[in-house]
Amino acid sequence: MPSTSEELTQRSYYAETAGNYDEMHLSPDDEHYVSLSYISAFVRQLGVRTVLDVGCGTGRAAAYFRENNTEITIHGVEPVPELLDACVKKRLSKNYLVRGSGLELPFRSNSFDAVLECGVLHHVQEPERVVSEMMRVARKAVFLSDSNIFGQGRPAMRLLKLMLYKAGLWRLVKLLQTGGTGYTISQGDGLAYSYSVYFQHDCLNQWAHRVLTIPVRGAGCGFASWSPLLSADTVLLCGIRG
């Protein structure tokens, strides 16, 4: 499948920043490590033995599970060869790393007990396709740790964004704000779309027997924490089968 100009732009960003990606983006208590701590507990409870990390980057999840879930074999798929090289430098086995796209995962259906992504979907033009592929190759669980636009900004703006989305106007608003591209480009995050992991809640709910929503950053405490939809800027969606 030929790459779009957006995909090429994003891959170029990661190729250029692969050498210092961890220093730029990772910290021990960041939101995706919080998600991994929850996922670690879930996979242990579910008896998971094989995990696929979609958009594995420099191998954050693989390194985490290697330390905390030694019973698990984790595979990674990543389209950027420079990031895969960074995985190997962390002594992650080449045998479990595949160059490929989340839009068309190079695996048979039901290949893994669990499939996860951390911060990938807001960089993808068609996140629903990636999630569909994740559900196709997963047997027991799918975990989505990603951004939530409805929990970002001032309270009134959060509600306005939700209303625009419900009215079917959010995409038009973002196209106008970005000069027709629908995305922004920054040194800190590369090419990114205005995204909420809640966009994928309904399709995940159709696949899973139950879906759990866990705020992993920004929910705070008190009344605001009652609704992570409007209070958490990053959310972990857990789709569990069985």
Residues 192-199 have a mean pLDDT of 97
101 near 1, Cβ under 8 Å?
A: yes
With left for phi above 0 and alpha for psi between -120 and 50, is residue 135 left, alpha or beta?
A: alpha
pLDDT at 119: 97
What is the extent of the structural domain holding 125? 5-240
Q: How many domains does the chain have?
A: 1
Residues 211-239 have a mean pLDDT of 84
pLDDT at 220: 60
- Residue 89 corresponds to which amino acid? K
217 near 233, Cβ under 8 Å?
A: yes
Please enumerate in sequence order all residues whose Cβ is within 8 A of that of 200, keeping only pairs 6 or more positions apart, or say none.
121, 127, 128, 131, 144, 237
- We report the CATH number of the domain holding residue 47 as 3.40.50.150
Q: What is the pLDDT of residues 50-59, one digit of tens each?
A: 999 999 999 9
Rounded-to-integer distance, Cα 141 and Cα 225, Å: 25
Look at strands 234-240 and 210-217 and give their pairing. antiparallel
Residues 210-232 have a mean pLDDT of 80
Secondary element (H or E) of residue 156: helix 155-166
Is the pLDDT at 135 greater than 50? The verdict is: yes
Cβ neighbours around 159 below 10 Å, total: 13
Is the pLDDT at 212 greater than 50? The verdict is: yes
pLDDT at 225: 62
